[in-house]
Amino acid sequence: MKPETIGIIAVTVSAFSLLISGLSLGWNIYRDVLLKPRLKVRVSISFIKHGEYESENYIFIYATNHGPGEIVCNSIAMAKLSILRFLGINWFNKYAHVMYDYTNQYSSELPKKLGIGETIQLPIPCSQDAYLSVNPTHVGIMDSYDKCHWASKTSLKGAKRSYFKKFQKRPWGA
């Protein structure tokens, strides 16, 4: 082989190695610094059955850590968000924190650190005064990064449909 050909091959291999190491460095920075854990949150209406014991209905909030890494769940949040928020008008948005039933032995405690794949469940008694009675558009879990992980629209709609078969809507703040 000619010396020029060997030089071109060496430069090409070096450039390719530099590209691969740059991509690897970029991915590691993204994964370790920028990528935050994600929670999958679901809302449902169900009851507790333990041996012979069968409870009244509860509004359950489930949250599962989908990674990457651990996450701390701090509180339950709900919101009634206006469609005008997409235009930058946030005057009509309403937010609230929901107190979980810390006396219930089947409830997880908050704050709770979740490893990858771990789940918490937060049952709240299903009554006329429950938080679903104000017809929130979003229900979710606040994490230690002050990010709210909202429940899927499908699970929230199903829970509200079941709830409003038995109870009436109330105005926000009542």
Domain 37-166 listed as CATH 2.40.50: no
How far is it, in rounded angstroms, from Cα 100 to Cα 61? 10
**Range 109-122 average pLDDT:** 93
Q: Tell me the pLDDT band of 174, cut-offs 50, 70 and 90.
A: low
Tokens describing residue 73 = 């769940």
Average pLDDT, the chain: 88
Ranges of each domain in the chain: 1-35, 37-166
| Cβ contact 102:122 at 8 Å | no
pLDDT tens figures, 38-60: 899 999 998 888 888 877 889 99
Q: Tell me the pLDDT band of 1, cut-offs 50, 70 and 90.
A: confident
Dihedral sign (CA 133, 137, 143, 149):
positive
Q: What is the pLDDT of residue 16?
A: 93
pLDDT tens figures, 135-173: 999 999 999 888 999 999 999 999 999 999 999 988 887
Nearest Cα to Cα of residue 116 among 74, 71, 151:
71
